[in-house]
């Protein structure tokens, strides 16, 4: 009886000694983002009549107490494929994470074909590390020609860069070289191009990058296979040491299984959202799926992998089916996901825009 009483006292002591924030923390890989998705306010639809809108990435500034959205835009008159030749990263602000957002300026405008990123900036991923803001992105250059298909010169000149500023309002310092360049080895997984960067800080203080890469093993100009790789740096501006091991793979015969990664650290593990191109990971068609990793290098499907298929549920009760739901980015506040930013393209329409989906 005395022994039982002693065990009860020890158990109570341990229970009351655990910080409240550690109670009810899910086990690694058990996050269920799909269950957190809420109906979307119409103010969270960021659209422009003259431009295609894509690639929304959000942060909040403690200085001006505003929410800052970085996004890609390009003229609709040139057609959707002209993202690869004419995109620029712009900047909008709002008093609320749900919007409405208003255009403020172009964060990374064209700066001349002599620069590696001088003609196009795309794929923004905004990060706040320490007392500075880091805007990771894809840049390219080429002949500027627009056609009915992708301009392969611009596509294959894609490289990953980073710009640095003291506030989300800039000015942004850009660099003369990519932060993640292609590998000189012609047999490397990223010998042809690098794009779609996402970066987060690791528990040990280092920085983990995940990026899309294309090699030269397949016929040109597409090349391939299309894979995702990791790289680690001691500083947000690099140098990033490549790990050279593809992740989010679906077998050797699948040459382009995933796209649009976003990575963050939560509940003692890394999570990453990727676009499943065609039921390669779960049987849900083209969808957004969730992976997790304990070290950032080895990845597995999460316990609840499906996040969303090609639809949006608006707060007015309308469910809208879409042609595309892509470029996921999570706005994390106080260590928890609050907003899922996605780019959408409507069915039978020439519209594309960003949506900020609230998370419970």
Q: Is residue 85 part of a domain?
A: yes
- For residue 112, give its domain range: 39-177+344-360
- Cα–Cα distance for residue pair 25/186, rounded to 1 Å: 45
CA angle 301, 264, 104 (to 5 degrees): 130
Question: Which residues are CB-neighbours of 320 under 8 A, at least 6 positions away?
Answer: 311, 312, 313, 314, 346
The answer on 49 and 170 residing in a single domain is: yes
Local confidence pLDDT in tens for the 360 residues of the chain = 454 444 444 444 544 454 544 456 789 999 999 999 999 999 999 999 999 999 999 999 999 999 999 999 999 999 999 999 999 999 999 999 999 999 999 999 999 999 999 999 999 999 999 999 999 999 999 999 998 899 999 999 999 999 999 999 999 999 999 999 999 999 999 999 999 999 999 999 999 999 999 999 999 999 999 999 999 999 999 999 999 999 999 988 999 999 999 999 999 999 999 999 999 999 999 999 999 999 999 999 999 999 999 999 999 999 999 999 999 999 999 889 999 999 999 998 889 999 999 999
The answer on 132 and 187 residing in a single domain is: no
CA distances from 311 to 266, 288, 307 (A): 26, 11, 11
Q: Is residue 254 part of a domain?
A: yes
Q: Which of 165, 93, 114, 99 is nearest to 136 (CA)?
A: 165
Contact 182/157 with Cβ under 8 angstroms? no
Q: Is residue 29 part of a domain?
A: no
The answer on 204 and 133 residing in a single domain is: no
The answer on 213 and 128 residing in a single domain is: no
- Cα–Cα distance for residue pair 213/198, rounded to 1 Å: 13
Contact 288/302 with Cβ under 8 angstroms? no
How many structural domains compose the chain? 2
- Cα–Cα distance for residue pair 149/341, rounded to 1 Å: 27
Give the CATH number, domain containing residue 192: 2.115.10.20
**Which letter, b or e, does each residue of 313-348 get, where b requires 16 or more Cβ atoms within 10 Å of its Cβ?**
eeeeeeeeebebbbbbbbbbeeeebbbbbbbbbbee
The answer on 80 and 169 residing in a single domain is: yes
Q: Is residue 82 part of a domain?
A: yes
Q: Is residue 34 part of a domain?
A: no
- End-to-end Cα, the chain, rounded Å: 46
Contact 226/256 with Cβ under 8 angstroms? yes
Q: Is 82 left (phi over 0), alpha (psi -120 to 50) or beta?
A: alpha
DSSP three-state, residue 237: coil
Q: Which of 184, 183, 174 is nearest to 118 (CA)?
A: 174
Tell me the torsion sign for CA atoms 104, 108, 112, 118.
negative
The answer on 100 and 69 residing in a single domain is: yes
For 140-172, what is the HEC assignment?
A: ECCCCCCCCCCCHHHHHCCEEEEEEECCCCCCC
Q: Which of 161, 151, 134, 173 is nearest to 83 (CA)?
A: 151
CA distances from 217 to 186, 190, 210, 212 (A): 8, 10, 21, 16
Q: Is residue 326 part of a domain?
A: no
The answer on 304 and 201 residing in a single domain is: yes
The answer on 212 and 159 residing in a single domain is: no
Q: Are strands 311-313 and 300-308 parallel, antiparallel or unpaired?
A: unpaired
- The backbone torsions φ and ψ at residue 222, rounded to the nearest 5 degrees and listed phi first, read -65, -40
The answer on 230 and 132 residing in a single domain is: no
The answer on 70 and 148 residing in a single domain is: yes
Q: Is residue 216 part of a domain?
A: yes
Q: Is residue 192 part of a domain?
A: yes
Last residue of a domain, one of 291, 309, 327: 309
The answer on 138 and 258 residing in a single domain is: no
Contact 215/224 with Cβ under 8 angstroms? yes
The answer on 352 and 291 residing in a single domain is: no
Please tell me the pTM assigned to this model: 0.93
């Amino acid at each position: 009886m005395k022994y039982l009483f002693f065990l009860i006292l020890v158990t109570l002591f341990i229970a009351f000694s655990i910080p409240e924030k550690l109670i009810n923390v899910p086990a690694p890989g058990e996050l269920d983002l799909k269950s957190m998705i809420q109906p979307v306010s119409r103010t969270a639809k960021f659209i422009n009549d003259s431009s295609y809108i894509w690639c929304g990435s959000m942060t909040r500034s403690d200085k001006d107490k505003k929410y800052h959205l970085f996004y890609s835009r390009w003229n609709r008159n040139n057609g959707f494929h002209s993202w690869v030749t004419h995109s620029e990263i712009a900047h909008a602000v709002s008093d609320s994470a749900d919007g409405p957002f208003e255009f403020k300026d172009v964060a990374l405008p064209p700066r001349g074909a002599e620069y590696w990123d001088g003609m196009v900036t795309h794929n923004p991923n905004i990060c706040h590390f320490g007392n500075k803001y880091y805007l990771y992105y894809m840049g390219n250059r080429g002949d500027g020609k627009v056609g009915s298909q992708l301009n392969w010169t611009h596509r294959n000149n894609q490289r990953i860069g980073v710009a640095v500023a003291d506030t989300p309002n800039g000015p942004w310092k850009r660099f003369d070289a990519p932060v993640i360049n292609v590998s000189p080895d012609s047999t490397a997984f990223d010998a042809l191009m690098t794009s779609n960067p996402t970066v987060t800080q690791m528990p040990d203080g280092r920085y983990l990058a995940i990026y899309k890469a294309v090699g030269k093993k397949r016929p040109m100009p597409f090349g391939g296979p299309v894979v995702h790789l990791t790289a680690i740096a001691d500083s947000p501006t690099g140098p990033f040491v490549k790990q050279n091991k593809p992740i989010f793979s679906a077998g050797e015969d699948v040459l382009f299984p995933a796209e649009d990664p976003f990575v963050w650290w939560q509940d003692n593990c890394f999570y990453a959202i990727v676009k499943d191109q065609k039921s390669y990971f779960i049987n849900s068609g083209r969808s957004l799926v969730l992976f997790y990793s304990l070290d950032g290098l080895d990845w597995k499907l999460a316990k609840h992998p499906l996040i969303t298929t090609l639809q949006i549920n608006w707060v007015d009760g309308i469910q809208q089916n879409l042609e595309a739901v892509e470029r996921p980015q999570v706005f994390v506040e106080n260590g928890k996901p609050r907003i899922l930013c996605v780019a959408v393209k409507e069915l039978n329409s020439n519209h594309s825009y960003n949506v900020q989906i609230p998370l419970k």
